[in-house]
Amino acid sequence: MKTLVIADHDNGQLKPETSKTINAAVKLGFAVDVLVQGADISGMANDVALMDGVSNVLVADDAAYAHQLAENTADLVLSLASDYSHIVASATTTGKNFMPRVAALLDVAQVSEIIDVVDAETFKRPIYAGNAIATVKSLDTKKVITVRASSFDLQNEQTAAPITTISSSLENALSSFVSVEQTESERPELTAAEVVISGGRGMQNGENFALLNGIADKLGAAIGASRAAVDAGFVPNDMQVGQTGKIVAPNLYIAVGISGAIQHLAGMKDSKVIVAINKDPDAPIFQVADYGLVADLFDVLPELESAL
């Protein structure tokens, strides 16, 4: 019984989800190997080798894996699968993309977005936008699992694990990469930030999101948004926090002009401390907020910035 974790990265930088997913994998109780796949990734492989609990790092460094296409990645993982009882990846857009393909090719069910490991075959996962927690037992001999990273801690450092190079170049004939358009940001990554400040429809337009900048700078916070703000075109979609966007669990979450719809709460209600700033005292967000301030955000935000 061994576990294979597939590292998550954005072609150059290892994502913090990788470390947290390794933590979840360690809880399964078996030796953990980590596959780092992509092009020009040796730096990241060294970083993974230093994470506590990692037995071996497997490196598949080839142009075929440069853009992490699901078809190539799934075939690569499949080629390694026979040695492992558990195959684990982060529930990021990358993991969500290729893992079900791996599961189907192995003819096993996938357990998506686990938030807790009960034992090697039993897991907890949220369903119905986080309004219920299901405990599920996988009956398949091989388990394919994705992990909600925000539910697990980062791994500590250890002495470097050995690194093995895999010479493999599985280029598929079904799909090809065309282009990528990255959202530029100086701020911490939303899913990894200790503090998140999010704006909703109450921000009224995209320009007003600048009101959050000063506060985010002072708190070292990432800036998020509700689906309403994204749908209204105020901000790009990768800032969306919610059931259909990113799941965050920071120490402090500040919701500004966000009503608190089920879909938004699903993405942030595991935050340690929640602050809500809203002029509607009946907004559902106040039912989950530790500290609520009923006020006009346009009065409050500049005040908050200068008070910090």
Partner 1 sequence: MKVLVPIKRVIDYNVKARVKSDNSDVDLTNVKMAMNPFCEIAIEEAIRLKEAGTATEVVAVTIGAKASQEQLRTALALGADKAIHIETEEKLESLHVAKLLAKIVEQESPELVILGKQSIDSDNNQTGQMLAALTNRGQGTFASKVDVDSGTVKVTREVDGGLQTVELKLPAIVTTDLRLNEPRYASLPNIMKAKRKPLEVIAADSLGVDLAPRIQLVSVNEPAKRTGGIVVEDVAQLVEKLKTEAKVI
| Contacts (CB under 8 A) with partner 1, residues 201-260 | 219, 227, 230-231, 236-238, 243-244, 246, 251-252
Q: Which residues pair with 147 in a beta bridge?
A: 90, 114
Smallest gap, in angstroms, from Cβ of residue 158 to partner 1?
27
- Selected range binding partner 1 among 39-47, 154-162, 196-204, 288-296, rule: CB under 8 A: 288-296
Smallest gap, in angstroms, from Cβ of residue 81 to partner 1?
13
Cα separation of 22 and 14, whole Å? 13
Which residues in 179-202 are b (16+ Cβ under 10 Å) and which e? eeeeeeeeebebbbbebbbbbbbb
> Which 258-287 residues touch partner 1, going by CB under 8 A?
262-263, 269, 272-275, 281, 286-287
- Selected range binding partner 1 among 19-27, 34-42, 56-64, 131-139, rule: CB under 8 A: 131-139
* For partner 1, the closer CB: 56 or 244: 244
200's CB contacts (< 8 A; 6+ apart) are 225, 226, 228, 229, 255, 256, 257, 258, 259, 264
Among 139, 159, 162, 207, binds partner 1 (CB under 8 A): 139
* For partner 1, the closer CB: 50 or 105: 105
The Cβ of residue 54 has, within 10 Å, a number of other Cβ atoms equal to: 24
Among 40, 127, 165, 169, binds partner 1 (CB under 8 A): 127
Cα separation of 205 and 201, whole Å? 8
Is residue 183 near partner 1 by the rule CB under 8 A? yes
* For partner 1, the closer CB: 112 or 208: 112
- State both tokens at 167: 């010479």
What are the distances in angstroms from CA 143 to CA 47, 72, 92, 118, 257? 26, 20, 18, 14, 42
DSSP category for residue 13: S
* For partner 1, the closer CB: 80 or 252: 252
Is residue 51 near partner 1 by the rule CB under 8 A? no
- Selected range binding partner 1 among 55-63, 111-119, 159-167, 196-204, rule: CB under 8 A: 111-119
Among 80, 108, 149, 161, binds partner 1 (CB under 8 A): 108
> Residues 236, 239, 241, 247: is their CA dihedral positive or negative?
positive
Is residue 21 near partner 1 by the rule CB under 8 A? no
Among 82, 157, 159, 180, binds partner 1 (CB under 8 A): 180
The Cβ of residue 170 has, within 10 Å, a number of other Cβ atoms equal to: 17
Is residue 114 near partner 1 by the rule CB under 8 A? no
Is residue 20 near partner 1 by the rule CB under 8 A? no
- For residue 36, the number of C-alpha atoms closer than 13 Å in the C-beta half-sphere is 31
